[in-house]
C-alpha cells in the first residue's frame, strides 16, 4: 500500500542498478575507516565517538593514510547547483513579494530570507535562489568529501546566485577553514543564449553576496567578465569556460590544493573536456559539445578528475537522491 504514495518514486530512481558505482567509492570510505576500530552501529553505544570530528578537517591526513598510490595527484571537481526555487514552485515571485519588494516565504522549503540586490524581485525571478533542500544537497556533498578526507582549497562558482549559494553551503558541509572562500567567476556561467530571450538579471555583485551572508572572496578578480545584454556564440561559451578552468588549474599549481568548480549541468562535461585538453599526451583533442548529458545531471551531481595526467575518476563520495513531496491541503480534514 505504502508504495502507492504518488510522491514516493523509489522505483524510478533505480537504486539496485547502481551498485556498481559504489565499488570504487568504497575504497575511500574504507581508508577513512582505518582510523576507526568501531563500526557506525556501535558508535552510539558506550563510549561515544565524535564521528565527524574524527576525520580530517582540510588536512588530508586520513586520505594520506590510505593505500592510494595516487595520493599526490590533485583533485578537480565539478558540481551542479542544488534544487532551484523556480523549478520547484513555478511562478513564485508574484506570490512571495509585495509591491515594496518585501519577501515572505509561502512554503517551508523556500529560503527564510533573501539578500538585497539590484533589481529586487525582478532579478530574483530571473536568477533563482536555492530551496532549503537545495542548501542541504550542497551541504551533503561538502560533508561527503570531508568524511572521505578530501580537503578543498580553491572554490570557483558561476555568478548565478544558485551556484554561489551551492558553493557556500558546500563549504559549510566541508567545514573548511575560513580562509577558503567562494571565488565568483562569470566565466563559469552557462550558455547566455538560453537566457537572453526573456532577459537576464544583473548578477549579484560580490559585495551584495557578502552582505547577504555568503562566504565570497571579495578580493578575487575574475578571469572572465560577461555582461547580461550582448549575445555569445557557442564557441564563445566554450572558450570562456575553458579559459577559466585552465587558468584556475594553472594559477594554483604551485600552491597546490584541490579545486571545485560549482556551476551548471554543462559544467561537468566542460571540465572533463577542458582538463583532458591539458594532457601533453593528448594528440586528438575532444570537441566541446552541449546538451549531450544535460538531462542526466541531477542537482548537486559531482564529477571528479585527478591529475596529472588529467583523467576522469570516480568521485570519492557517494551520489545523492531524494524523492519529491507534495503540498498538503489541510482543508481535506474538514471533509471527514
In SS3 terms, 194-245 reads as: HCCCCCCCCCCCHHHHHHCCCCECCCCCCCCCCCCCCCCCHHHHHHHHHHHH
Give least dist CB 7 to its own copies, A. 5
Give the nearest distance from C-beta 309 to its own copies in angstroms: 15
Q: How far apart are CA 244 and CA 222, in angstroms?
A: 8
Task: Output the smallest distance, CB 267 to its own copies, in A.
Answer: 11
Of 67-75, 80-88, 227-235, 245-253, which part binds its own copies (CB under 8 A)? 80-88
Toward its own copies, which CB reaches closer, 26 or 227?
A: 26
Write the DSSP string, 270-319: HHHHHHHTT-TT--SPPPP-SSSSGGG--TT-EEEEEETTTEEE--SS--
Interface with its own copies in residues 95-124 (CB under 8 A): 95, 100-109, 112-116, 120
Separation CA 254–CA 74 (nearest Å): 11
Q: Which of 289, 187, 189 is nearest to 242 (CA)?
A: 187
Which candidate in 146, 162, 168, 264 is catalytic? 264
Give 64 or 323: the residue with its C-beta nearer to its own copies: 323
Q: Cell for 184? A: 565568483
Does 235 engage in binding with its own copies (CB under 8 A)?
no
24 or 251, CB closer to its own copies?
Answer: 24
Is 164 exposed, middle or buried, given 0-12, 13-18 or 19+ CB atoms closer than 10 A? buried
Q: Which stretch binds its own copies (CB under 8 A): 39-47, 53-61, 226-234, 253-261?
A: 39-47
Task: State which of residues 167, 260, 266, 272 lies at the interface with its own copies (CB under 8 A).
Answer: 272
Residues binding its own copies: number (CB under 8 A): 110
Under the binding rule (CB under 8 A), the answer on residue 238 touching its own copies is no
For residues 21 and 64, which CB has a smaller minimum distance to its own copies in the complex? Answer: 21
Q: Do the beta carbons of residue 306 and residue 77 sit within 8 Å?
A: no
Residue 52: CB minimum distance to its own copies, A: 8
Closest separation in Å from C-beta 299 to its own copies:
4
Residues 188-217 binding its own copies (CB under 8 A) are 194, 211-213
Choice between 223 and 274, CB closer to its own copies? 274
Q: Which stretch binds its own copies (CB under 8 A): 136-144, 174-182, 233-241, 251-259?
A: 136-144
Q: Is 264 a catalytic residue?
A: yes
Quote the least distance from Cβ 255 to its own copies, whole Å.
26
DSSP one-letter code for 333 = G
**CA distances from residue 62 to 33, 56, 139, 145, 176 in whole angstroms, order as listed:** 9, 6, 20, 12, 15
Residue 121, classed as helix, strand or coil, is helix
| Candidates 63, 74, 81, 168; catalytic one | 81
Q: How far apart are CA 159 and CA 161, in angstroms?
A: 6
Residue 80 annotated to the active site:
yes
* Sheet arrangement for strand 302-307: 182-184, 154-157, 259-263, 74-80, 302-307, 311-313
Q: Is 50 in the site for its own copies (CB under 8 A)?
A: no
Residue of 80, 117, 154, 240 marked catalytic: 80
- Quote the least distance from Cβ 181 to its own copies, whole Å: 18
CB 64 within 8 A of CB 71: yes
Q: Does 9 bind its own copies (CB under 8 A)?
A: yes
Q: Which parts of 286-315 interact with its own copies (CB under 8 A)? A: 286, 289, 292-293, 295-304, 312, 314-315
Q: Give yes or no for residue 244 binding its own copies (CB under 8 A).
A: no
Catalytic residues, by residue number, are: 80-81, 264
Amino acid at each position: 500500500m505504502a508504495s502507492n504514495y504518488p510522491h514516493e518514486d523509489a522505483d524510478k530512481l533505480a537504486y539496485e542498478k547502481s551498485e556498481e558505482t559504489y565499488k570504487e567509492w568504497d575504497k575511500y570510505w574504507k581508508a577513512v575507516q582505518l582510523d576507526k576500530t568501531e563500526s557506525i552501529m556501535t558508535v552510539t553505544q558506550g563510549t561515544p565517538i565524535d564521528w565527524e570530528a574524527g576525520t580530517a578537517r582540510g588536512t588530508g591526513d586520513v586520505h594520506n593514510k590510505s593505500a592510494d598510490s595516487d595520493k599526490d595527484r590533485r583533485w578537480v571537481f565539478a558540481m551542479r547547483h542544488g534544487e532551484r526555487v523556480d523549478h520547484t514552485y513555478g511562478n513564485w515571485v508574484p506570490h512571495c513579494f509585495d509591491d515594496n519588494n518585501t519577501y515572505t516565504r509561502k512554503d517551508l522549503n523556500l529560503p527564510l530570507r533573501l539578500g538585497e540586490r539590484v533589481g529586487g524581485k525582478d532579478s530574483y525571478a530571473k536568477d533563482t535562489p536555492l530551496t532549503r533542500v537545495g542548501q542541504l544537497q550542497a551541504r551533503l556533498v561538502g560533508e561527503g568529501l570531508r568524511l572521505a578526507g578530501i580537503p578543498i582549497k580553491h572554490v570557483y562558482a558561476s555568478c548565478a546566485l544558485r551556484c554561489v549559494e551551492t558553493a557556500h553551503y558546500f563549504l559549510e558541509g566541508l567545514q573548511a577553514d575560513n580562509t577558503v572562500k567562494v571565488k565568483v567567476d562569470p566565466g563559469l556561467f552557462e550558455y547566455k543564449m538560453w537566457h537572453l530571450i526573456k532577459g537576464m538579471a544583473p548578477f549579484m555583485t560580490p559585495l551584495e553576496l557578502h552582505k547577504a551572508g555568503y562566504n565570497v572572496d571579495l578580493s578575487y578578480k575574475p578571469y572572465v567578465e560577461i555582461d547580461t545584454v550582448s549575445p555569445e556564440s557557442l564557441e564563445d561559451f566554450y572558450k570562456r569556460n575553458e579559459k577559466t578552468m585552465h587558468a584556475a588549474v594553472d594559477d594554483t599549481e604551485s600552491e597546490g590544493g584541490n579545486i571545485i568548480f560549482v556551476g551548471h549541468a554543462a559544467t561537468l562535461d566542460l571540465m572533463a573536456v577542458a582538463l583532458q585538453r591539458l594532457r601533453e599526451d593528448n594528440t586528438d583533442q575532444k570537441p566541446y559539445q552541449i546538451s549531450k548529458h544535460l538531462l542526466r545531471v541531477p542537482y548537486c551531481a559531482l564529477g571528479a578528475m585527478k591529475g596529472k595526467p588529467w583523467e576522469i575518476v570516480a568521485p570519492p563520495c557517494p551520489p545523492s537522491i531524494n524523492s519529491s513531496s507534495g503540498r498538503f491541503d489541510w482543508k481535506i480534514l474538514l471533509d471527514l
